[in-house]
Amino acid sequence: MIYMPPAAGLILGAGGAWFMLLWGDRLGFTDLPNERSSHVKPTPKSGGVGIFIAFLACALVLPLPAWFWVPVAGVALLSLYDDYSGLTYRFRLFGQFAAALVLLLSNYEWFGPTVVRSLLILPAAVYIVGTANFYNFMDGIDGMAGITGFIAFGLLALMGQVAGAVPNHAMLAMALSAACLGFLPFNLYKARRVFMGDVGSILLGFTFAFFTLSLARSLTDFICLAAFLFPFYGDELTTMAIRLKDGERLTQPHRRHLYQILANEIGLDHWKVSLGYGILQIACGLSVMAVRSDGWLAAFLTLLLFSAGFIAATLYVRLVVRRRFHREANL
């Protein structure tokens, strides 16, 4: 029984990507290059539909309660429609917040006393919607979303076993990890590749954030679980801070994430950048998990150390690129 959800996830993750690779263009699921893109030719998207189907199948078979999978499925369907025809960011956010609030209000008792519940519901919704969009924004080069999802949900399953979480939640995490692994070959192979699309990236970020909240039994647990997605949080928050400093609107399309600079300006192969992020993700996640028994301060300081290193690295890379462009402009 324990092998069935991961096996199903692997098959469905690969099957959805393969289907969109063959039929995506004909069905209207095509990603056209723009100023934010790291690709130069039209490419089929929504390959993450297999990850969505894996989520639904495992949620129904395990089974998981409807209050959990219905809002997540609603967000995924909204994202699939967005992949197809495009929606305004306001409408997307409205749908995502609505789903997050339904999910959280269905589990109101998790937040303790009534006063604490009232104070935490909105921040928790912001965290879920923010993580979902962070995941989507970071899905910009080959392999990034798939490798990160494989590792993040694998670590969630491991943490669930260590912390004695609900077995079905750990099984679903394993299934989603396997679905990302099944998707990966269709995203890394340049000659025949398909993009994950919002249907996959939004679902993964949304589900990851909810699992982080639902598995955490203390501040230490929350820090540890959130660290499993550290490179995405680190890159997105650092980039947002830099863009705000430069007076940019956050809704404006851009290519200023560290991973985009490494792939586009410096010219590193996409798979190398994605694998590097994955290695950092494993190192951070396991390091914070290793000090979990020492309390929240040890976990926080470990995460802070990784954050300081990441900020230093991103500032250095941006400085190198700026100097290079300055020299080329003066030649």
Query: Phi and psi (nearest 5°) for 196?
Result: -70, -40
> How many beta carbons lie within 10 A of that of residue 199, not counting itself?
30
pLDDT in tens, 158-200: 887 755 555 788 889 999 999 999 999 999 876 568 999 999 9
- 178 class by beta-carbon count within 10 Å (0-12 exposed, 13-18 middle, 19+ buried): buried
Q: Check pLDDT > 60 for residue 113.
A: no
Distance in angstroms (rounded) separating the CA atoms of residues 12 and 5:
10
> Number of folded domains in the chain?
1
Residue 35 scores a pLDDT above 70 = no
pLDDT computed for residue 62 by the predictor: 85
Residue 93's SS3 state is helix
Q: What does the pLDDT read at residue 121? A: 86
For residue 7, give the amino acid letter.
A
Q: Is the pLDDT of residue 277 over 90?
A: yes
Strands (DSSP E) contained in the chain are 30-31, 43-44
Give the residue from 14, 304, 147, 135 showing the smallest Cα distance to 155.
147
pTM: 0.93
Query: Is the pLDDT assigned to residue 72 strictly greater than 90?
Result: yes
pLDDT value, residue 36: 63
Answer whether residue 85 shows pLDDT above 50.
Answer: yes
Its domain, for residue 157, covers: 4-330
What is the model's pLDDT at position 115?
Answer: 46
- The C-alpha atoms of residue 138 and residue 117 are separated, in whole angstroms, by 31
Average pLDDT over residues 132-143: 94
Residue 304 has pLDDT above 90, yes or no: yes
Whether residue 280 is predicted with pLDDT greater than 70 in this model: the reply is yes
Among 107-111, 151-155, 164-168, the minimum mean pLDDT is found in 107-111
